[in-house]
Structure 1
Amino acid sequence: MTTASPRQLLNTSWTAHRLSPLHHEKEFQTLLNNPDALNTYASRLRDQLTGNIFGGLQSGLSAGGEDDSFSKTGALRSCSWEMLSSWAELTDDNAVSTVPRPSAGVLVTLEYEKVVYKAALLSNDDTEQTESSTSLPLLLTRLPNPLRQTFVSFLSANFDTYCSILRLPQAFLCSALEVYFNPFIPSGSSDDDQNLNILADVVKELHLTLSFSPSIAPNLRSLNISIPRTTFMAFVTSSPSTEHPENALLANLSSYLDKHLAMNLELNNPSAHTLAKQHARLSKVSSGAFGIGCEGKLKLVVPEGNTATGDSAENGTQTRSEKEKLSLRASVALLQAVIRRATPGQSQGS
């Protein structure tokens, strides 16, 4: 069966949702690697979107006069459900493997005349697929709100699943920073300087958004902090004077906020519950490489295209540049961390 590349998840802004297991035992024994099942649900969703429910949404938005973007999509041309190939496609340099690799999930594509919308149901490292249900704990959507509501209702009606926005608390945003930067951090190899230069190139600047409790800042909802490239790279490479030296980046960020804003958020110590952390919290982190927020917003940016050199170029094959390799590894690591966060049994935090 044809598969879609998980690379389609990159360079796109998503809204993340937590999804309970999908129950399909009444119709199919399996969902993944089952073309008949995927085609059936694609056809059923297409019929629903071109029926009265979709028409009613479209007419309602147009009549409201405030948001006619949905009415400008044109007719629905196609609705497809495709298997996503393995994450190894992005992180493994070996293009051919004799070892079967698990699917990354399912990609849903809605192609209209003027725009293409997508959603992805993603699996974790040990996806549970039985004859009655399949666990795809993370749902990513790039859909306008009315269409998102219709799609979620479709999933609920067909799979008896429950969907909710995936909230990402400060502790997770801090761990996400470390997860993304780990592939670039010096490890004592000869490539350390090159990796750090690549990190500086892809991240560019680091932007933090702090949110405040209304009880202490009724007229200040958030504060944006921009950290220049040189300062950010100093955080990565400098050893902090802290009892948590293993969290150099977070420790240096905490010291920076404490020194310049008098806010002791202790980003490197998630278990700490200081007075400041009760009223001020990190709610968004963004850069040239990624963006992630507490309300489930997510975007991963990776340079497009491959670089072919030497024998590879002569043979017509393409070899990824080192910049692309590291960016892909970091992006996949961060996305898998979000998937684990969405997996049942993991607390969403506050």
Structure 2
Amino acid sequence: MADVPPYPLYGRSYLLYRVSPLHHGDAPLLREPALNTHAKRLREQLKGDNVRGVDVDFAATEGALPNLGPLDACSWDVIGDDDAWIDRHRQLLHPDASQLTTVVPAEHARGIHVSLDYETQSYNALLLRDPSSTAAPDGFTSLPLLLVKMPSAIRDIFLNYIRTSFDAHVAPLRLSSAFVTSTLETYFRRLTASTSTQTVQDVIRQLQVQLSFPTATTLLRHLDVTMAGRDVPGFLSRGRLLRNAKDRPFTAALAAYMREHLALDISHPKVRISRISCASFVLATDRLKLMAPDIADVSIVDSDTPEGSAGELAVQDFYASLVKEATGTGKFLSEDLTMDRRSSTPSSSTSASASRRKRAVSNVAAGSRTSKRSKAREKENRDGVLGDAEMADA
């Protein structure tokens, strides 16, 4: 029996983009008929077919990618969270499991998964949002975060399709050094919480922090600081003792260490933390690779137990902050509209509680799900974290 495929957000290197709300008029976007229509139109453009009587010439794309073969399939699908993904594929593997549903309600959808299957290779993109804090004017759907894994020739056509079909603005998302380091601090905060059953060493393993000097000098492009996982807790302990370092103990301790031993001030405006790499994620200023977190034992149901493992909670925090960053770097929506729409959407805590109750319905079903998620996680983690060469070709 085939395994559940890995959740598309995990185990792949994506370029980061931000997108203004997508205009689609009165026809809902997150419905199968609309998605099938866009899949058909994008496929026609990628294949260079005739579109509404106009010949679309993309011969240069075929010349640039001669080894891919023909485009076999192009699909646009609504994507939910990890649990919805597993339920959908369990239903496909076990049609008799009538208690499961393959349909993700639009109000709970994270966004759209675009998949391109060529003869020799597959590519994909994710248009994402946070369902608990989404807002858009009538006739629009807000999917502010766009993750793309495609060669440049195909990527250009896809981004142009998003711009022209939805009258949308698409721009690269450039993350600041503060955001990159805050992601790491979020992981540390979750892993060192009193309720955590995971350790920093187990989840982070080896940590690499890359410092870059884009405007200071042309002689030194970047400096990599590599740290064993067993040394990270010591930095956290030292950072908590420093003044004004409550929310960023590791970054503060690293800055103190670099000043003391290398006479390098990493808080200087000309010094940037451009990439952080560990066993759980690789995050650069323009790209991301996120690994599947270890999951909590879903057979244990206790009101005092967190809604997931420390790794899962860290991923949830990271995902929400990344979507917020994609939205916040361009004020597409007014604050009044955002607050009004937010009040009518389910809260994240309510959603988490519902998910938890769902997991507690049957210990047998929970055990099956845990096994399949573990297999999928082991499959994608087998390759490890990306090196420089793979990260360069998103």
Aligned with 1:195 (options 191, 194, 198)? 198
1:333 aligns to 2:324 (yes or no): no
* Aligned counterparts of 1:307 and 1:185: Cα–Cα separation in 2: 16
Name the structure 2 match of 1:64. Answer: none
Name the structure 1 match of 2:172. Answer: 165
Name the structure 1 match of 2:346. Answer: none
Amino acid at match of 2:41: R
* Shift in Å, 1:156: 0.9
* Aligned counterparts of 2:27 and 2:265: Cα–Cα separation in 1: 53
Amino acid at match of 1:143: M
* Shift in Å, 1:31: 0.9
Name the structure 2 match of 1:126. Answer: 133
* Shift in Å, 1:185: 1.7
* Shift in Å, 1:208: 0.9
What TM-score, normalized to structure 1? 0.76
Q: 1:137 to 1:89 in 2, by over 3 A?
A: same
What TM-score, normalized to structure 2? 0.68
Name the structure 1 match of 2:348. Answer: none
User: Secondary structure at the residue paired with 1:38?
Assistant: helix
Instruction: Name the count of aligned residue pairs.
Output: 298
User: Secondary structure at the residue paired with 2:311?
Assistant: helix
Name the structure 2 match of 1:9. Answer: 9
Aligned with 1:39 (options 31, 36, 57)? 36
Contact persistence 2:36–2:75 (CA under 8 A):
yes
- After superposition, the C-alpha distances for 1:198-231 in whole angstroms (9 at most, x for unaligned) are x3122111111111144x4221111111112122
Structure 2 unmatched runs, 5+? 49-55, 86-98, 301-305, 332-394
* Shift in Å, 1:103: 0.7
- After superposition, the C-alpha distances for 1:154-191 in whole angstroms (9 at most, x for unaligned) are 1111001111110011111121112233321233x4xx
- Aligned-pair identity (%): 30
Aligned with 2:156 (options 141, 149, 156)? 149
Aligned with 1:288 (options 275, 279, 288)? 279
Aligned with 1:29 (options 27, 30, 35)? 27
Contact persistence 2:24–2:139 (CA under 8 A):
yes
Contact persistence 1:200–1:229 (CA under 8 A):
yes
Contact persistence 1:18–1:138 (CA under 8 A):
yes
Contact persistence 2:75–2:115 (CA under 8 A):
yes
Name the structure 1 match of 2:219. Answer: 219
Q: 1:156 to 1:112 in 2, by over 3 A?
A: same
Amino acid at match of 1:244: A
* Aligned counterparts of 2:148 and 2:177: Cα–Cα separation in 1: 22
Contact persistence 2:293–2:315 (CA under 8 A):
no
Aligned with 2:68 (options 56, 59, 73)? 73
RMSD: 3.1
* Aligned counterparts of 1:160 and 1:328: Cα–Cα separation in 2: 35
Contact persistence 1:137–1:344 (CA under 8 A):
no
* Aligned counterparts of 2:265 and 2:190: Cα–Cα separation in 1: 28
Q: 1:53 to 1:260 in 2, by over 3 A?
A: farther
* Aligned counterparts of 1:333 and 1:50: Cα–Cα separation in 2: 39
Q: 1:345 to 1:29 in 2, by over 3 A?
A: farther
User: Secondary structure at the residue paired with 1:343?
Assistant: helix
User: Secondary structure at the residue paired with 1:71?
Assistant: coil
Following TM superposition, the consecutive aligned residue runs of length 4 or more in structure 1 with deviations greater than 4 angstroms are: 87-90, 306-311, 344-347
Contact persistence 1:16–1:140 (CA under 8 A):
yes
Q: 1:19 to 1:203 in 2, by over 3 A?
A: same
1:298 aligns to 2:288 (yes or no): yes
* Aligned counterparts of 1:5 and 1:236: Cα–Cα separation in 2: 36
Structure 1 unmatched runs, 5+? 62-69, 267-276, 312-321
Name the structure 2 match of 1:273. Answer: none
Amino acid at match of 1:10: Y
Contact persistence 1:18–1:139 (CA under 8 A):
yes
* Aligned counterparts of 2:260 and 2:121: Cα–Cα separation in 1: 47
* Aligned counterparts of 2:84 and 2:242: Cα–Cα separation in 1: 40
* Shift in Å, 1:88: 6.4
Contact persistence 1:119–1:139 (CA under 8 A):
yes
